[in-house]
């Protein structure tokens, strides 16, 4: 499954694109029509085993209407390079096999050509301006009722929103109708091609033990567009361009509804932190609601989405976004995730200690002791497994740190594929060593295979849990170190410390990965004539991190309370505008009518379904609040500076 960029057919090809390519199509495919060989099954197995070891959870949403047979074009978002193809091929309904586009240049070497063809990849000559030649292999696959997976963004990107959509998928789909017309099909406008949009989202795509969500949209037929497209004389005709644009817009709208789309990195980081504060445990938010919850939070923290007259709420949203983004920046600087901080806060609250400052050493010491005992107990079976796989772990870490690309979209791919390959070689070597005492006879090989299978399954079942325990132990060790060294002058970092300011400055405008900080430190060092600028101990961030978490939590709580107040007829500042003891009046209470007027929203009833919904004014924000509450989002009461809140 080759990962390639899609052809950019946003500009129309030349008028010769209607030239018959009956012979050219087959001649261009030296190994015959598109097919799937054993290589596809093998590579899908590699992908399946890799992602199940890297991700803690993978959730599939939708896909019930994906056809089991017939020509199919899958259009998917592409945030994580090869990992996306692994997830799609693993979780495609009906276990349908699919083709991917690959650059024709990759097929030059005989071995590479055999492997690419056998795994179902389609050669695409991006240099030609002739659409019928460009998509020749695609047409042959569709005519055989195969499925083709395309990435309309044209590549893999790490951005806070969906990248701009290229028109290549739309051109390929509609030019298939022209291909049928050229080959004298009776009804070329009836292609029977279905398009299935897929959105892929990750909780943290570069981190081991994170989660992924693959969301299928509703499939639709391209035949609604083919009749208009076939009216055009060729690809340069304005009718063809308009039809392609209409289909591209449909694809883009569907993909945007299936992905998280923040206007900028600050808003994206803020939404993530708000989500992890509202659902403070890693598995407290059901993954099937991950997209809905994320987009609802985006609606709240994006101040530009509020009506202009709602100045107070806009300011609240702006302050919450800034505080939450700052929290994400410092989490990256301290190399500590918010789940660990939430665990800290829960433990401090139980012991009636403030959650916005470093505690005395007694509490962290007790917690660290408890974590150490738990880790020691699990180490009875973890240490042998880790020792056996130490070469893989160490070499993977070294290669990922020194050789691999540090773009967030590439990190998971590098980790999974390198680890899988090294594990394969390790197991082959161990199998040989086990079989040697048996003189390489079948009993020795059987014993080796069975033993390594058991070891591999044990590693799969325990690895992610062990990783989480080590993270918690490391976090409490840093908390203990901070509590002991806090009284020392100059140990604790403050808001004005250069490292804190640098982290906020750089991470707020880029992806939340360690490489963002490392590059910033290297550039800072170069300006000072050093190889790099020394990074402070992680424990020094603990105090400012706990304080920033408390501030972000309070800012989010104030925003939610203001919206709740607004929803009940107040002015958003705790001042009630209407009485809540209204009576029924025409199917809507006086309170609801007054609230709608105050919030600038109107309740409308759907004549078909009978359901009522808000429109206008603060409708989207109030609906977002309702959705967050219905999904169980809340800010649990913590010991310290608290006030009465509807979200505690």
Residues in the chain: 648
Task: Please say whether the beta carbons of 28 and 123 come within 8 A.
Answer: yes
DSSP string, 483-503: HHHTTSTTTS--TTSHHHHHH
Question: Worst-scoring range by mean pLDDT, 291-305, 310-324, 407-421?
Answer: 407-421
Q: How far apart are CA 266 and CA 249, in angstroms?
A: 27
**pLDDT at residue 590 is higher than 50:** no
Q: How far apart are CA 640 and CA 586, in angstroms?
A: 46
pLDDT of the residue at 278: 96
Select from 3.30.70, 3.40.1130, 3.30.43, 1.10.3470 the CATH code of 26-257: 3.40.1130
pLDDT tens by residue, 1-24: 554 445 555 444 443 444 444 444
Q: What is the mean pLDDT of the chain?
A: 85
Cα–chain center distance at 291: 10
Task: Please say whether the beta carbons of 544 and 492 come within 8 A.
Answer: yes
Q: How far apart are CA 94 and CA 14, in angstroms?
A: 39
pLDDT of the residue at 67: 96
Mean pLDDT of 444-453: 94
**pLDDT at residue 411 is higher than 80:** no
Q: Map 7-50 to HEC letters.
A: CCCCCCCCHHHHCCCHHHHHHCCCCCCCCCCHHHHHHHHHHHHH
Mean pLDDT of 541-552: 95
Whole-model pTM: value is 0.87
pLDDT tens by residue, 337-365: 999 999 999 888 888 888 889 999 998 99
pLDDT of the residue at 426: 93
Q: Which residues contact 263 (CB under 8 A, 6 or more apart)?
A: 160, 161, 302, 304
DSSP string, 552-565: HHHHHHHHHHHHHH
Closest among 365, 389, 360 to 452, alpha carbons compared: 389
The domain ranges of the chain are: 26-257, 364-485
Instruction: Give 128 or 302, the one with higher predicted confidence.
Output: 302
């Amino acid at each position: 499954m080759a990962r390639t960029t899609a052809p950019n057919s946003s500009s129309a090809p030349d008028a010769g694109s209607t030239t018959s390519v009956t012979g050219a199509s087959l001649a261009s495919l030296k190994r015959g029509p598109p097919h799937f060989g054993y290589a596809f099954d093998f590579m899908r197995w590699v992908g399946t085993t890799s992602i199940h070891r890297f991700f803690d959870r993978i959730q599939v949403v939708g896909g019930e209407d994906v056809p089991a047979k017939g020509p199919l074009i899958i259009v998917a978002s592409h945030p994580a390079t090869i990992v996306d193809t692994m997830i799609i091929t693993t979780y495609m309904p009906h276990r349908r096999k699919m083709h991917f586009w690959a650059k024709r240049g990759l097929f030059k070497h005989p071995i590479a050509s055999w492997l690419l063809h056998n795994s179902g990849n389609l050669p695409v000559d991006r240099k030609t301006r002739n659409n019928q030649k460009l998509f020749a292999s695609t047409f042959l696959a569709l005519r055989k009722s195969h499925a083709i997976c395309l990435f309309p963004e044209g590549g893999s990107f790490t951005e806070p929103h969906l990248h701009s959509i290229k028109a290549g998928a739309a051109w390929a789909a509609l030019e298939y109708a022209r291909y049928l017309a050229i080959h004298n099909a009776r009804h070329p406008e009836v292609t029977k091609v279905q398009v299935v949009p897929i959105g892929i989202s990750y909780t943290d795509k570069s981190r081991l033990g994170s989660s992924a969500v693959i969301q299928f949209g509703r499939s639709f037929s391209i035949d609604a567009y083919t009749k208009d497209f076939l009216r055009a004389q060729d690809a340069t005709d304005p009718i063809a361009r308009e039809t392609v644009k209409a289909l591209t817009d449909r694809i883009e709208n569907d993909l945007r509804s299936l992905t998280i789309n923040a206007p900028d990195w600050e808003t994206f980081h803020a939404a993530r932190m708000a989500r992890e504060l509202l659902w403070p445990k890693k598995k407290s938010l059901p993954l099937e609601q991950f997209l809905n919850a994320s987009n609802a939070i985006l609606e709240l923290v994006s101040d530009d989405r509020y009506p202009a007259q709602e100045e107070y709420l806009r300011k609240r949203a702006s302050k919450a976004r800034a505080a939450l983004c700052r929290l994400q920046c410092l989490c990256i600087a301290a190399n500590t995730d918010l789940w660990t901080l939430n665990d800290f806060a829960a433990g401090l609250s139980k012991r009636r200690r403030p959650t916005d400052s470093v505690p005395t050493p007694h509490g962290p010491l007790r917690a660290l002791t408890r974590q150490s005992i738990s880790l020691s107990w699990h180490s009875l079976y973890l240490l042998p497994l880790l020792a056996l796989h130490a070469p893989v772990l160490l070499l993977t870490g070294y290669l990922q740190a020194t050789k691999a690309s540090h773009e967030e979209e590439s990190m998971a791919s590098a980790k999974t594929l390198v680890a899988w390959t090294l594990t394969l070689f390790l197991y082959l070597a161990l199998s040989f060593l086990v079989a040697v005492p048996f003189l390489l006879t079948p009993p020795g090989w059987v014993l080796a295979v069975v033993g390594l299978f058991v070891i591999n399954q044990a590693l799969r079942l325990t690895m992610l849990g062990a990783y989480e325990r080590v993270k918690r132990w490391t976090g409490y060790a840093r908390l203990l170190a901070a509590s002991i060294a806090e009284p020392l002058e100059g140990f604790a970092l403050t808001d004005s410390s250069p490292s804190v300011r640098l982290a906020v400055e750089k991470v707020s405008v880029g992806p939340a990965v360690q490489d963002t900080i490392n590059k910033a430190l290297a550039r800072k060092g170069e300006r000072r004539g050093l190889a790099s600028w020394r990074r402070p101990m992680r424990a020094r961030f603990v105090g400012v991190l706990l304080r920033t978490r408390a501030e972000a939590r309070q800012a989010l709580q104030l925003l939610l309370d203001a919206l709740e107040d607004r929803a009940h007829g107040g002015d958003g500042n705790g001042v009630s505008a209407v009485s809540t003891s209204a009576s029924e009046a025409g199917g809507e209470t006086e309170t609801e009518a007054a609230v709608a007027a105050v919030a600038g929203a109107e309740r409308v009833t759907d004549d078909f379904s009978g359901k009522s919904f808000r429109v206008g004014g603060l409708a989207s924000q109030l609906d977002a609040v309702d959705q967050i509450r219905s999904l169980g989002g809340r800010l649990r009461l913590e010991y310290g500076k608290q006030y009465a809140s509807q979200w505690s």
